[in-house]
Amino acid sequence: MSLTILIVEDEAGQRQLIAGMLRAEGYQIREADSVESAIVAIKEAPPELVFSDWKLGSLSGMDLLLYVKREYPEVGFIMATAYGTITHAVDAIQAGADDYLSKPYQRQALLLAISKVARSQALKKENKALSSALSEQQSLVGLVGKAPCMQKVFDRLNRISGTDATVLIGGESGTGKELAARALHQLSRRASKAFIAINCGAIPENLAEAELFGAEKGAFTGATSLKVGKLEAADGGTVFLDEIGELPLLQQTKLLRFLQEGVVTRLGAQKELKLDVRVIAATHRDLRLEVAEGRFREDLFYRLNVVPVIMPPLRERREDIGRLIEHFLKLHARQYGFDVPKISQEGMRFLLDYRWPGNVRELSNRIERFVLLGDEQELTQDSGALQQDTGWQLPAEGIEWEAFEARCLAEAMARFDGNRTKAAKWLGMNYKAFLYRLDKHHLV
Ligand SMILES: Nc1ncnc2c1ncn2[C@@H]1O[C@H](COP(=O)(O)OP(=O)(O)OP(=O)(O)O)[C@@H](O)[C@H]1O
Ligand SMILES: [Mg+2]
Of ligand 1's atoms, which has the minimum distance to the CA of residue 174?
23
Per-residue model confidence (pLDDT) at position 331: 92
**HSE of 110 in the Cβ direction (CA atoms, 13 Å)?**
22
Q: Which residue has the higher pLDDT, 89 or 42?
A: 42
pLDDT tens-digit profile of 229-281?
Answer: 999 999 999 999 999 999 999 999 999 999 999 999 999 999 999 999 999 99
Give domain 4-132's CATH number out of 3.40.50.2300, 3.20.20.80, 3.40.190.10, 3.30.1780.10. Answer: 3.40.50.2300
Q: Which residue has the higher pLDDT, 232 or 132?
A: 232
User: How far are the Cα atoms of 32, 52, 151, 321 from residue 99, in angstroms, in the given order?
Assistant: 20, 11, 40, 51
Q: What is the DSSP string of 137-197?
A: -SEETTEE--SHHHHHHHHHHHHHHTS---EEEE-STTSSHHHHHHHHHHHSTTTTS-EEE
The letter for the amino acid at 27 is Y
- Candidates 168, 360, 364: which one to mutate for ligand 1, based on the most atoms within 8 Å of Cβ? 360
Per-residue model confidence (pLDDT) at position 141: 77
Fold match, 4-132 / 401-440: no
pLDDT band at 392 (very low <50, low <70, confident <90, very high): low
Beta-carbon contacts of 349 under 8 Å, excluding residues fewer than 6 positions away, are none
Per-residue model confidence (pLDDT) at position 244: 96
For the chain, which residues make up each domain, given as ranges?
4-132, 149-310, 316-386, 401-440
Of ligand 1's atoms, which has the minimum distance to the CA of residue 320?
1
- The SS3 of residue 60 is strand
pLDDT tens-digit profile of 141-188?
Answer: 789 999 999 999 999 999 898 889 999 999 999 999 999 999 999 999
pLDDT tens-digit profile of 13-58?
Answer: 999 999 999 999 999 999 999 999 999 999 999 999 999 999 988 8
Residue spans of alpha helices (H) in 50-96: 61-71, 86-94
CB-CB contact of 212 with 398 (8 Å): no
Most confident of the following: 118-127, 213-222, 344-353: 344-353
- State percent of the chain over pLDDT 70: 94
Q: How much distance in Å is there from the Cα of 358 to the middle of ligand 2?
A: 12
Of ligand 1's atoms, which has the minimum distance to the CA of residue 311?
21
CB-CB contact of 211 with 234 (8 Å): no
Q: How much distance in Å is there from the Cα of 266 to the middle of ligand 2?
A: 27
CB-CB contact of 177 with 313 (8 Å): no
The letter for the amino acid at 54 is W
Per-residue model confidence (pLDDT) at position 139: 63
- The SS3 of residue 67 is helix
Residue 145 Cβ < 6 Å to ligand 1: yes
The mean per-residue pLDDT over the stretch 387-408 comes to 74
Q: What is the DSSP string of 384-443?
A: GGG-SSSS----TT---HHHHHHHHHHHHHHHTTT-HHHHHHHTT--HHHHHHHHHHTT-
CB-CB contact of 153 with 180 (8 Å): yes
Evaluate whether the domain defined by 401-440 bears CATH number 1.10.10. yes
Per-residue model confidence (pLDDT) at position 387: 47
Q: Which CATH architecture has domain 149-310?
A: 3-Layer(aba) Sandwich (3.40)
Q: How far apart are CA 193 and CA 61, in angstroms?
A: 46
Of ligand 1's atoms, which has the minimum distance to the CA of residue 169?
21
Q: Indicate if the pLDDT at residue 133 is higher than 60.
A: no
The letter for the amino acid at 334 is R
Of ligand 1's atoms, which has the minimum distance to the CA of residue 179?
18
Q: How much distance in Å is there from the Cα of 413 to the middle of ligand 1?
A: 21
The mean per-residue pLDDT over the stretch 71-95 comes to 85
pLDDT band at 135 (very low <50, low <70, confident <90, very high): very low
The letter for the amino acid at 394 is L
Q: Indicate if the pLDDT at residue 132 is higher than 70.
A: no
pLDDT band at 118 (very low <50, low <70, confident <90, very high): confident
The letter for the amino acid at 214 is G
The torsion angles phi and psi of 124, rounded to 5 degrees, stand at -60, -45
Residue 199 Cβ < 6 Å to ligand 1: no
**Nearest residue CA, atom 5 of ligand 1?**
143
Per-residue model confidence (pLDDT) at position 46: 92
Residue 360 Cβ < 6 Å to ligand 1: yes
316-386 has which CATH code?
1.10.8.60
If one counts every other C-beta atom within 10 angstroms of the C-beta of residue 381, the result is: 12
Q: How far apart are CA 341 and CA 351, in angstroms?
A: 15
pLDDT band at 130 (very low <50, low <70, confident <90, very high): low
Per-residue model confidence (pLDDT) at position 443: 84
Per-residue model confidence (pLDDT) at position 4: 94
Q: How far apart are CA 179 and CA 185, in angstroms?
A: 10
User: Helix, strand, coil: what percent of the chain each, to 5?
Assistant: 50, 15, 35
Residue 35's H or E segment, with its range, is helix 35-44
Per-residue model confidence (pLDDT) at position 74: 86
Q: Which residue has the higher pLDDT, 364 or 430?
A: 364
Q: Indicate if the pLDDT at residue 138 is higher than 90.
A: no
- State percent of the chain over pLDDT 90: 57
- Candidates 141, 325, 361, 422: which one to mutate for ligand 1, based on the most atoms within 8 Å of Cβ? 361
Q: How far apart are CA 313 and CA 362, in angstroms?
A: 12
Q: Indicate if the pLDDT at residue 120 is higher than 80.
A: no
Q: What is the DSSP string of 118-130?
A: HHHHHHHHHHHHH
Mean pLDDT, all residues of the chain: 88
Residue 235's Cβ-count burial label (10 Å; 0-12, 13-18, 19+) is middle
pLDDT tens-digit profile of 314-364?
Answer: 999 999 999 999 999 999 998 888 999 999 999 999 999 999 999 999 999
**Nearest residue CA, atom 25 of ligand 1?**
173
